[in-house]
Chains A and B, each alone.
Chain A
């Protein structure tokens, strides 16, 4: 069945970078976009953007441009989220999610989610 498996928790110092992975199982990776969603402690869900797994073209949500980078390694069906120049306010759980609609756009039809990766930024 369709599954997304994310990398483990990270503890980073302010100013450092982190790279979170999201490995897909059970479907052809390059047929569905991968979205990234942030959830700060005790807060709601925020859409960060998505990446077209066929072309590699990323789309970043307003408010998430500048320090984040979406990337792929299609040979291992994996998407990555990198956050640079980490700040304390980046402390959150980061989720990847597959969009059923495909590769034209993000739609919100997220039928499969990774288990989440907790990134803690603290000195």
Chain B
């Protein structure tokens, strides 16, 4: 039972923008960095965004992260078919003294 809540699914047509939310609390997102991972079908997760809004080298600038209070968001602009994947947020939780992942959002490109 994850403490970070994401919508189960999101979809969009190629070229459009999709936003995924990640809702937490003061003990996790409210006070700590947020990370986003992309998991393509049958593969290991891949770091997409670190420290709320930073992109590792090689990640297209179509992906962007933000945070407001106890919620975070991942936006994918210029949606492409290869963006079809499961997306997870993550943050350290001070109350649990552990890392917590979001429930995951499956993105479908229509």
Residues of A within 8 A of B (CB): 35, 37, 44-47, 49, 61-62, 95, 97, 100, 105-111, 113-116
Contact = CB atoms under 8 A, between A and B. Distances in A.
A45 B35 contact: no
Interface stretch (B9-17, B45-53, B60-68, B77-85): B45-53
Interface of B: 2, 33, 35, 37, 39, 43-47, 50-51, 56, 88, 90-92, 96, 98-104
Contact of B103 (A44, A49, A95, A111): A44
Contact of A113 (B33, B44, B51, B88): B44
A109 B35 contact: yes
Contact of B47 (A46, A111, A115): A111
A44 B39 CA distance: 10
Contact of B45 (A61, A95, A105): A95
B101 A109 contact: no
A115 B50 CA distance: 20
B44 A109 contact: no
A35 B98 CA distance: 11
Nearest to B35: A108
B45 A45 contact: yes
Q: A-B pairs with the 5 shortest C-beta distances?
A: A47-B99, A113-B44, A108-B35, A45-B101, A44-B104
B104 A106 contact: no
A47 B39 CA distance: 15
Contacts of A111: 47, 50, 56
Contact of A106 (B47, B88, B92): B92
Contacts of B102: 44
Nearest to B2: A44
Contacts of B50: 100, 109, 111
Contact of A108 (B33, B56, B103): B33
Contacts of B33: 107-109
Nearest to A95: B44
B91 A108 contact: yes
A106 B99 contact: yes
B98 A62 contact: yes
